């Protein structure tokens, strides 16, 4: 049962991912991306990562995508930029070939490897409490460092975007 | 005193720093005094050390002075260290002594040059590196000097950078030398890999355990010899030296005759312990040396630029030195190196003095009859010519004769034959030069002719000192008298002998001497006949033997051949790789953006249209290759 | 429930904290006070100096901290010092250059300090996640710095390209880490990886190799190894020159710190595989960088290809994977920091008027109009070409000796051949400066004290570190002792 759900979700994620890339209108791309996020959140749920699943939906599908949509609409990109977005045939061909090759190699690598099966998840894995525990013990430093990362990103955004220069 | 040996190169370094940093602000006389003075100090110190060394008991020779550990890498370390032994002392004496004289000469010669301080800056730097090269106690430091002299040589060849030909020649010298240096480096790596050390004495001691003819030693010595062919202008890397004559004449005298170009010979002699173990390498050295000796000599016959004649003669004489080393007569090679330093420096300085007299003219077709106008230059030049032609009792006679003698007694008739023919040609073209420059009708440009003048004492005194050395320099190696060969006695602790034992009969020695004298005399007479008695003959001969003459006159077209098969393909290869492989994808974006397109949106759009995606594609391609490689 | 927060000592990440706090302080002062602030560069330098002192104070420690998230060891410290040096020299170069563009802003200095913090994280990481976070902190700061001249199309282009491709490469890195997590059975601590991968070597080998390959891609992008180098010329050319210098030395140093630490520490069991892979990459990187550099006429672009080539040399040391190799990585990065920032300093001085003089022919006759400047540039060019007795020579000597020691004779030979080729284009600059008359009067060059000091200091240091490499060798040897597998 779980397996069927997994494959269904994975299928949705893949297809929507491909659709994101192939849309010519950015708005549609963004919408497909939301679908993709939901599918991935579902996979997280299957893996007992409830917290991540929730975050995925709230932060990515919710906040970030809304922001994306706002930006797209504000920029008023109603018409797809015809001459801009058209790759040459050679590029398409090379891209597809390479993507197929990489996919093949990855699958090949996995098929050769015998990944040790995950042990049955202990109760409570992936819930808020256990994540919090990890964040305040083993991953205390990375957790704090993330704040630096965010700060840098904010500063960067301000530098590039602020209207008036001294 | 010996422990202060490191000061020998430090003096020129100080001169370099002072003249380099403040030369422009100092008065000319002071720059010259500093430039020459520091070399004088080095020379004085060298002499002092030499005298002290002579007093040392044999047991405490040679002396190694380590200043500090330069590059340490695990157990292996390279010190800044000096090896004071007979070989390095002779080299230090020759280098600092000849340099000193040439520096003094330069003060006069370069006096009106606007780049006066720059000239002395480079020249001092050169001497610094040269002294490092010959004083080093390990291969790496020798290599530092090796690279350094190459650099200075290139700077000095291109000294008159306004002349396109000068800077081209500088570049050529540098590039060709790098090929040689590459061989040197590889040889050094091989030695390091084999012995785990680069110290001369340690390497030679360890090499003793290898059998004669071992592959590693043979490979290492051959690679080192590649380096020598570059620096010492041997076949196939000799082409840069004639072009190097674009530099000021004192530079030609110092770097391209007396010192730097002999570095290869010094290196081979220094490594005699290794070469002794590699008979094949010795054969290669001797063969290349012999071929170069005759090949360059023939080219010297048809040159009209006096400095080019001397350049080919230098190449040829260097060939002699390698020939000597190749037949195992390392001592004779170094002996010839020394005497050659005297008489060839003298020849170049003499040529400089001549061109000084005739307002910078170098073409011998526009000289002639200068004998009475510049008597000191004429006499000293003649002495040097006699020395290089191998006339008794001038210095060149002893050293050249010893080389030919060794070639013969070892049974190498081939080398001996070539050496003898080359000696004949040398005598011929050197006297051709003398006759064309100093004798006969004056062909000097009439505008110049009326103020032909002898050079100032600053220039003529060094000439006279060098002339003196060219006369007496050979006596230290007087062959026949038992114990007369002081030079050999002194030098032999530094040299690993090869081959023959026993003394051939004195009669053979004397017979050979007479024979080479006769050969030289015939060469001189031929020149006399052609250029004094029948000045119409050379032209007639050139007509008659058009093809060989053209071949020689055009230097066997070697430059053109190198251009076609080496230089051009590399150039076009780089451009090809760039324009076709990297640039097609990479550069397109930039050419557009370099223009003043200011609209950001326009740019972003253009970016999205392809180039960025291509970069990403390249990354994916890389991913595919890397992953595929590791998994495949 | 109880939660035991692990004990930790802030002192062990003291240098990070100092730089981060310094950066925040700059931002606050900039935001809260009015008027032009001229003291930010000095303040940044003081902060860097303080961080350097803290690092020196920590020297000799050997432990982990924050629940085994960071190494507190000499390898990290030595990299800290190199990174601090790179940042400090960059700041010295920046001020007049920024003013010319009207962009002398506090954020610039804050971002440099932040980027340095990220780099330090990479050098000290004991866990993959720290490497990734450090990498991102560094990268985001540098993306922004590359686009700092946002009115300039080229700068914009540089930032955008770097950002997009950098994100792309980071994805591969992250992907590799994820695979590694699976292959190692759920751990990403570097020391533990080594053990687990040895035990599980046969079972999960393909997966591990996949992970290694993807890590190589990620790191290869940051150090600009072929074939992940495509962005380098464009980004280096477009970015502000001071930032180009910073990217070329510091980003490269940090990436190599993590690269070396991960591969020496975590993958000794797979050395056969990654040695050969990196062998090929090293040769390709050196060769392409050097050969293509020959054809460049824009000096920043030439130095970009040169920087690719230098990454190739350092890869050689990585392949050698012995103690001397590790030492030579450190030494070479120090040497490269000095000589390359120096060279860019000269480029900044010569460029003037918003980078009007970037063509190599603008250097014609420089020696006759500005002899000191030309002498400095000559030193840097010779050092980059690996001429003795500069630091560049000693660095190459260490690297190639390490390769020879490890038995990679051909790699050493190819390396030497490459440095032979490289002489050509470095020499060309010298030829132009010393052997060509000036195309036109170069006009006055504003020798601002900070930039002049930077150029003089780096030139002198390039020579001195070459003549006296011993002390740094000892430090480096001391710091690479932490790798048991070497």
Same domain, A118 and A154: no
C56 touches chain B (CB under 8 A): no
Higher pLDDT, B625 or B608: B625
Q: Which residues of B touch A85 (CB under 8 A)?
A: 608-609
pLDDT at B186: 86
For residue B196, how many other CB atoms are within 10 A of its CB?
A: 14
DSSP conformation class of C482: T
Residue C58 lies in a domain: yes
pLDDT digits (tens, 9 = 90+) for B358-377: 777 777 777 777 778 888 88
Q: Report residue C137 as tokens.
A: 């902190």
What band does B597 get if pLDDT is binned at 50, 70 and 90? very low
pLDDT at B44: 92
**Residue B358 near residue B343, CB atoms below 8 Å:** no
**Of B243, B214, B237, B213, residue with least CA distance to B225:** B237
CA dist list (Å): B201 to B67, B211, B274, B311, C253? 17, 18, 11, 35, 39
Task: Measure CA B80 to chain center.
Answer: 24
Same domain, A149 and A131: yes
Higher pLDDT, B92 or A23: B92
CA atoms within 13 A on the CB side of B450: 2
State the nearest Cα–Cα gap between B471 and chain C, in angstroms.
39
Residue A85 lies in a domain: no
Q: Which residues contact B443 (CB under 8 A, 6 or more apart)?
A: B365, B366, B367, B368, B369
Q: What is the mean pLDDT of residues A54-66?
A: 87
pLDDT digits (tens, 9 = 90+) for C51-78: 999 999 999 888 888 888 999 999 999 9
CA angle B41, B43, B48 (to 5 degrees): 95
Same domain, A33 and A50: yes
Residue A109 lies in a domain: yes
State the nearest Cα–Cα gap between A96 and chain B, in angstroms.
10
CB–CB contact A159 C134 (8 Å): no
Q: What is the mean pLDDT of residues B465-481?
A: 80
pLDDT at C72: 93
CATH code for the domain in which residue A115 is found:
1.20.120.1200
Domain range spanning residue C293? 12-482
Cα separation, B246 vs A58, whole angstroms? 78
pLDDT at B595: 32
pLDDT at B600: 34
**Of B339, B350, B266, residue with least CA distance to B310:** B350
CB–CB contact A113 C207 (8 Å): yes
B605 touches chain A (CB under 8 A): yes
- Please name the member of C153, C221, C416 whose beta carbon is closest to the beta carbon of B603: C153
pLDDT at C252: 95
Q: Report residue B342 as tokens.
A: 């005297």
Dihedral (C-alpha) B119, B121, B124, B128: value to the nearest 10 degrees?
A: -130
Same domain, A47 and A108: yes
Q: What is the mean pLDDT of residues B207-212?
A: 84
Number of domains observed in the structure of chain A: 2
pLDDT at C318: 93
* Mean pLDDT estimate for chain C: 89
CA atoms within 13 A on the CB side of C350: 33
Q: Which residues of A touch C13 (CB under 8 A)?
A: 141
Would you call C298 helix, strand, or coil by DSSP? strand
- Please name the member of B74, B186, B593 whose beta carbon is closest to the beta carbon of C413: B186
Number of domains observed in the structure of chain C: 1
Checking if the pLDDT of B477 tops 80, the result is no
Same domain, A41 and A64: yes
A-contacting residues of B 29-68, CB under 8 Å?
none
CA atoms within 13 A on the CB side of B49: 31
Checking if the pLDDT of C270 tops 50, the result is yes
Checking if the pLDDT of C123 tops 80, the result is yes
Burial class (CB in 10 A: 0-12, 13-18, 19+), B487: buried
- Please name the member of A85, A95, A106 whose beta carbon is closest to the beta carbon of B617: A95
Sign of the Cα torsion B39, B41, B47, B53 reads negative
Percent of chain B topping pLDDT 70? 90
Q: Report residue B447 as tokens.
A: 């505008």
Residue A87 lies in a domain: no
pLDDT digits (tens, 9 = 90+) for C16-46: 999 999 999 999 998 888 777 788 999 999 9
Cα separation, B449 vs B436, whole angstroms? 16
Checking if the pLDDT of B579 tops 80, the result is no
Q: Report residue B4 as tokens.
A: 């202060």
pLDDT at C80: 96
Residue A164 lies in a domain: yes
Pairing relation of β-strands C70-72 and C63-65?
Answer: antiparallel
Write out B326-342 in H/E/C secondary structure: HCCCHHHHHHHHHHHHH
pLDDT at B598: 31
pLDDT at B589: 35
Checking if the pLDDT of B501 tops 60, the result is no
| Lowest-pLDDT choice from A160-164, B173-177, C286-290 | A160-164
**Residue B307 near residue B242, CB atoms below 8 Å:** no
Give the bridge partners for B305, in sequence order: B363
CA dist list (Å): B588 to B171, B583, B611? 32, 7, 8
Q: What is the DSSP string of B252-319?
A: HHIIIIISGGGHHHHHHHHTHHHHTT-HHHHHHHHHHHHHHHHHHHHHHHT--BHHHHHHHHHHHHHH
CA angle A42, A150, B608 (to 5 degrees): 75
pLDDT at C145: 94
Q: Which residues of C touch B193 (CB under 8 A)?
A: 404-405, 409
Radius of gyration from C-alpha coordinates of chain B:
27
Cα separation, B99 vs B105, whole angstroms? 10
Cα separation, C486 vs C483, whole angstroms? 6
Same domain, A2 and A62: yes
pLDDT at C202: 60
Instruction: Give the predicted TM-score (pTM) of the model.
Output: 0.87
- To test the contact with chain A by mutation, choose from B601, B602, B628, B629 the residue with the greatest count of A C-beta atoms within 10 A, namely B628
A106 touches chain C (CB under 8 A): yes
**Residue C297 near residue C360, CB atoms below 8 Å:** yes
CA dist list (Å): C405 to B195, C270, C411? 11, 20, 11
What band does A65 get if pLDDT is binned at 50, 70 and 90? confident
Would you call B136 helix, strand, or coil by DSSP? strand
Checking if the pLDDT of C232 tops 60, the result is yes
Would you call B67 helix, strand, or coil by DSSP? strand
- Tokens 């500090």 correspond to B68
Q: Report residue B602 as tokens.
A: 């326009």
Same domain, A57 and A74: yes
- Please name the member of B608, B613, B623 whose beta carbon is closest to the beta carbon of A102: B623
Residue A146 lies in a domain: yes
Domain range spanning residue A101? 1-78+92-122
* Mean pLDDT estimate for chain B: 81
Q: Report residue C392 as tokens.
A: 């560049």
The H or E element that residue B77 is part of is: strand B76-84
Checking if the pLDDT of B235 tops 70, the result is yes
Residue C2 lies in a domain: no
Residue C5 lies in a domain: no
What band does A12 get if pLDDT is binned at 50, 70 and 90? very high
- To test the contact with chain B by mutation, choose from C212, C267, C291 the residue with the greatest count of B C-beta atoms within 10 A, namely C291
Cα separation, A100 vs A94, whole angstroms? 10
Q: Which residues of A touch C70 (CB under 8 A)?
A: 141
What band does A147 get if pLDDT is binned at 50, 70 and 90? very high
CB–CB contact C213 B74 (8 Å): no
CA dist list (Å): A52 to A46, A150, B578, C107? 11, 19, 48, 34
A-contacting residues of C 206-235, CB under 8 Å?
206-210
Q: Which residues contact B120 (CB under 8 A, 6 or more apart)?
A: B15, B19, B23, B31, B32, B34, B35, B103, B106
pLDDT at C344: 95
Q: What is the mean pLDDT of residues C241-263?
A: 94
Highest mean pLDDT among B196-205, B493-502, C82-91, C317-326: C82-91
- Nearest residue on chain A to B621, judged by CA atoms? A98
CB–CB contact B574 C292 (8 Å): yes
pLDDT at C218: 93
DSSP conformation class of B483: T
Percent of chain C topping pLDDT 70? 98
Q: Which residues contact B344 (CB under 8 A, 6 or more apart)?
A: B253, B257, B258, B310, B313, B314, B317, B384, B388
Highest mean pLDDT among A36-40, B17-21, B164-168, C206-210: A36-40
CB-defined contacts B:C, below 8 A: 190
For residue B468, how many other CB atoms are within 10 A of its CB?
A: 14
- Please name the member of A108, A140, A156 whose beta carbon is closest to the beta carbon of C140: A156
Greatest CA separation for chain B: 96
- Please name the member of C301, C388, C420 whose beta carbon is closest to the beta carbon of B144: C388
Q: Which residues of C touch B195 (CB under 8 A)?
A: none
Checking if the pLDDT of B181 tops 60, the result is yes
Q: Which residues of B touch C301 (CB under 8 A)?
A: 590
Residue A29 lies in a domain: yes
pLDDT digits (tens, 9 = 90+) for C161-201: 899 999 999 999 999 999 888 888 788 999 888 888 876 55
Task: Measure CA A14 to chain center.
Answer: 12
- Nearest residue on chain A to B623, judged by CA atoms? A102
**Of C179, C48, C175, residue with least CA distance to C119:** C48
A22 touches chain B (CB under 8 A): no
Residue A84 lies in a domain: no
- Please name the member of C13, C127, C207 whose beta carbon is closest to the beta carbon of A110: C207
CA angle C156, C157, C160 (to 5 degrees): 85
Cα separation, B565 vs B555, whole angstroms? 17
Q: Report residue A58 as tokens.
A: 């709230």
Q: Report residue C65 as tokens.
A: 């901290």
What band does B611 get if pLDDT is binned at 50, 70 and 90? low
For residue C35, how many other CB atoms are within 10 A of its CB?
A: 6
C185 touches chain A (CB under 8 A): yes
Q: Which residues of A touch C134 (CB under 8 A)?
A: 145
A93 touches chain B (CB under 8 A): no
What band does B608 get if pLDDT is binned at 50, 70 and 90? very low
pLDDT at B609: 40
State the nearest Cα–Cα gap between C107 and chain B, in angstroms.
22
Checking if the pLDDT of A124 tops 70, the result is no
pLDDT at B497: 76
Same domain, A69 and A134: no
pLDDT at C169: 92
Q: What is the mean pLDDT of residues C285-299?
A: 86
Cα separation, B294 vs B310, whole angstroms? 14
Q: What is the mean pLDDT of residues C344-359?
A: 86
B610 touches chain A (CB under 8 A): yes
pLDDT at B516: 84
Pairing relation of β-strands C63-65 and B63-73?
Answer: unpaired
Cα separation, C299 vs C305, whole angstroms? 10
pLDDT digits (tens, 9 = 90+) for B506-532: 777 788 888 888 888 888 888 888 777
- Nearest residue on chain B to A110, judged by CA atoms? B631
Q: Is residue A23 left, alpha or beta, with left meaning phi > 0 and alpha meaning psi from -120 to 50?
A: beta
CB–CB contact B179 C420 (8 Å): yes
Give the bridge partners for C63, in sequence order: C72
**Residue B319 near residue B299, CB atoms below 8 Å:** no
Residue A155 lies in a domain: yes
Higher pLDDT, B493 or C415: C415
For residue B612, how many other CB atoms are within 10 A of its CB?
A: 22
| Lowest-pLDDT choice from B29-43, B158-172, B326-340 | B158-172
Task: Measure CA C228 to chain center.
Answer: 16
Checking if the pLDDT of B584 tops 60, the result is no
CB–CB contact C137 A148 (8 Å): yes
pLDDT digits (tens, 9 = 90+) for B100-135: 989 988 888 888 888 788 888 888 999 999 999 998
- To test the contact with chain B by mutation, choose from A94, A96, A103 the residue with the greatest count of B C-beta atoms within 10 A, namely A94
Give the bridge partners for B63, in sequence order: B84
**Of C88, C189, C63, C75, residue with least CA distance to C124:** C75
Percent of chain C topping pLDDT 90? 52
């Amino acid at each position: 049962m779980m397996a069927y759900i997994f494959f269904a979700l994975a299928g949705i994620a893949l297809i929507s991912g491909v659709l994101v890339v192939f849309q010519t209108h950015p708005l549609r791309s963004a919408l497909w991306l939301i679908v993709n996020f939901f599918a991935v959140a579902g996979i997280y749920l299957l893996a007992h990562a409830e917290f991540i699943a929730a975050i995925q939906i709230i932060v990515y599908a919710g906040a970030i995508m809304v922001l994306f949509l706002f930006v797209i609409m504000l920029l008023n990109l109603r018409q797809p930029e015809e001459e801009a977005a058209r790759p040459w045939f050679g590029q398409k061909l090379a891209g597809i070939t390479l993507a197929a090759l990489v996919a093949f190699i990855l699958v090949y690598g996995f098929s050769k490897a015998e990944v040790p099966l995950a042990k049955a998840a202990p109760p409570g894995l992936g819930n808020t409490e256990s994540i919090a525990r990890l964040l305040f013990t083993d991953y205390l430093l990375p957790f704090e460092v993330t704040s630096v990362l965010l700060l840098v990103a904010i500063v960067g955004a301000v530098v590039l975007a602020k209207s008036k220069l001294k | 005193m010996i422990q202060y040996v490191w000061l020998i190169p430090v003096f020129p370094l100080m001169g370099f720093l002072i003249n380099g940093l403040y030369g422009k602000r100092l008065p000319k006389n002071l720059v010259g005094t500093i430039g020459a003075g520091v070399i004088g100090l080095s020379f004085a110190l060298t002499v002092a050390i030499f005298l002290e060394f002579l007093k040392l008991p044999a047991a405490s020779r040679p002396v190694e002075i380590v200043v500090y550990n330069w590059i340490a890498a695990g157990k292996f370390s390279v010190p800044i260290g000096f090896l004071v032994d007979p070989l390095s002392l002779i080299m230090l004496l020759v280098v600092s002594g000849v340099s000193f004289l040439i520096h003094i000469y330069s003060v006069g010669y370069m006096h009106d040059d606007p780049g006066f301080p720059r000239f002395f800056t480079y020249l001092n730097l050169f001497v610094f590196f040269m002294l490092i090269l010959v004083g080093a106690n390990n291969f790496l430091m020798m290599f530092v000097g090796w690279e350094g002299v190459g650099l200075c040589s290139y700077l000095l060849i291109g000294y008159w950078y306004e002349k396109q030909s000068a800077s081209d020649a500088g570049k050529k010298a540098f590039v060709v030398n790098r090929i040689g240096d590459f061989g040197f480096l590889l040889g050094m790596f091989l030695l390091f890999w084999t012995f785990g050390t680069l110290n001369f004495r340690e390497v030679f001691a360890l090499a003793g355990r290898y059998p004669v003819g071992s592959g590693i030693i043979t490979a290492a010595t051959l690679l080192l010899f590649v380096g020598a062919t570059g620096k010492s202008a041997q076949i196939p890397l000799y082409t840069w030296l004639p072009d190097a004559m674009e530099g000021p004449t004192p530079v030609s005298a110092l770097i391209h005759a007396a010192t730097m170009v002999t570095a290869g010979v010094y290196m081979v002699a220094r490594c005699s312990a290794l070469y002794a173990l590699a008979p094949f390498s010795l054969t290669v050295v001797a063969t290349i040396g012999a071929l170069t000796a005759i090949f360059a000599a023939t080219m010297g016959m048809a040159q009209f630029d006096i400095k080019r004649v001397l350049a080919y003669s230098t190449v040829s004489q260097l060939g002699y030195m390698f020939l000597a080393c190749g037949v195992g007569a390392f001592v004779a090679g170094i002996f010839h190196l020394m005497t050659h330093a005297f008489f060839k420096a003298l020849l170049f300085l003499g040529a400089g003095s001549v061109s000084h007299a005739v307002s910078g003219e170098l073409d011998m077709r526009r000289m002639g009859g200068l004998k009475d106008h510049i008597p000191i230059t004429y006499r000293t030049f003649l002495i040097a010519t006699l020395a290089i032609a191998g006339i008794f009792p001038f210095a060149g006679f002893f050293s050249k004769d010893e080389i030919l003698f060794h070639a013969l007694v070892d049974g190498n008739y081939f080398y001996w034959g070539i050496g003898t023919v080359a000696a004949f040609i040398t005598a011929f073209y050197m006297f051709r030069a003398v006759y064309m420059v100093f004798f006969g009708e004056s062909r000097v440009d009439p505008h110049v002719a009326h103020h032909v003048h002898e050079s100032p004492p600053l220039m003529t005194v060094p000439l006279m000192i060098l002339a003196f050395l060219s006369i007496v320099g050979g006596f230290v190696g007087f062959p026949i008298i038992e114990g007369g060969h002081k030079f050999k006695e002194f030098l032999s602790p530094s040299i690993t002998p090869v081959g023959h034992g026993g003394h051939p009969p004195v009669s053979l020695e004397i017979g050979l001497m007479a024979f080479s004298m006769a050969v030289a005399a015939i060469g001189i007479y031929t020149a006399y006949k052609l250029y004094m008695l029948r000045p119409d003959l050379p032209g007639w001969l050139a007509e008659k033997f058009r093809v060989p003459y053209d071949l020689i006159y055009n230097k066997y077209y070697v430059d053109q051949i190198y251009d076609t098969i080496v230089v051009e393909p590399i150039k076009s290869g780089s451009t090809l790789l760039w324009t076709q492989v990297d640039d097609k994808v990479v550069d397109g974006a930039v050419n557009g953006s370099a223009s003043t397109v200011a609209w950001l949106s326009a740019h972003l759009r253009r970016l999205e249209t392809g180039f960025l995606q291509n970069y990403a594609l390249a990354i994916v391609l890389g991913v595919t290759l890397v992953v595929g490689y590791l998994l495949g | 429930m109880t939660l035991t927060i692990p004990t930790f000592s802030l002192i062990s990440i003291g240098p990070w904290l100092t730089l981060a706090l310094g950066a925040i302080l700059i931002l606050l002062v900039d935001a809260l006070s009015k008027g032009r602030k001229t003291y930010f560069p000095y303040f940044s330098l003081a902060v860097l100096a303080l961080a350097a002192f803290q690092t020196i104070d920590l020297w000799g420690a050997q432990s982990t901290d924050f629940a085994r998230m960071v190494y507190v060891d000499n390898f990290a410290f030595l990299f800290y010092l190199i990174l601090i040096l790179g940042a400090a020299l960059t700041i010295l170069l920046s001020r007049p250059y920024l003013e010319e563009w009207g962009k002398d802003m506090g954020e610039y200095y804050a971002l440099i300090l932040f980027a340095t913090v990220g780099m330090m994280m990479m050098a000290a990481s004991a866990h993959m996640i720290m490497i990734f976070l450090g990498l991102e902190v560094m990268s985001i700061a540098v993306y922004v710095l590359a686009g700092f001249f946002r009115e300039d199309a080229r700068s914009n282009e540089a930032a955008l390209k770097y950002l997009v491709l950098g994100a792309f490469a980071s994805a591969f890195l992250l992907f590799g880490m994820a695979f590694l997590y699976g292959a190692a059975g759920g751990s990403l601590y570097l020391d533990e990886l080594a053990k687990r991968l040895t035990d599980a070597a046969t079972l999960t080998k393909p997966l591990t190799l996949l992970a290694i390959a993807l890590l190589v891609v990620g790191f290869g992008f940051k150090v600009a190894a072929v074939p992940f180098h495509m962005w380098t010329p464009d980004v280096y050319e477009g970015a502000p020159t001071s930032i180009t210098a910073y990217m070329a030395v510091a980003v490269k140093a940090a990436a190599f710190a993590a690269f070396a630490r991960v591969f020496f520490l975590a993958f000794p069991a797979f050395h056969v595989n990654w040695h050969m892979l990196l062998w090929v990459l090293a040769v390709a990187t050196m060769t392409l960088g050097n050969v293509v550099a020959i054809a460049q006429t824009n000096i920043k672009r030439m130095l970009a290809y040169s920087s690719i080539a230098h990454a190739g040399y350092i890869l050689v040391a990585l392949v050698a994977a012995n103690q001397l190799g590790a030492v030579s990585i450190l030494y070479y990065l120090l040497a490269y920091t000095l000589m390359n920032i120096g060279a860019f300093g000269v480029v900044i001085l010569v460029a003037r008027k918003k980078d009007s003089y970037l063509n190599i022919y603008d250097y014609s006759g420089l020696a006759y109009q500005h002899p000191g400047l030309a002498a400095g540039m000559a030193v840097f060019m010779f050092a980059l070409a690996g001429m003795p007795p500069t630091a560049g020579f000693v660095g190459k000597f260490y690297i190639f000796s390490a390769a020879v020691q490890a038995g990679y004779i051909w790699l050493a030979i190819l390396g030497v051949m490459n440095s032979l080729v490289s002489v050509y284009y470095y020499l060309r600059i010298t030829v132009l400066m010393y052997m060509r008359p000036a195309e036109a009067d170069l006009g006055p060059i504003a020798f601002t004290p900070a930039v002049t000091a930077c150029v003089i200091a780096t030139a002198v240091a390039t020579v001195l570190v070459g003549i006296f490499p011993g002390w740094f060798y000892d430090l480096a040897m001391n710091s690479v002792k932490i790798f048991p597998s070497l």
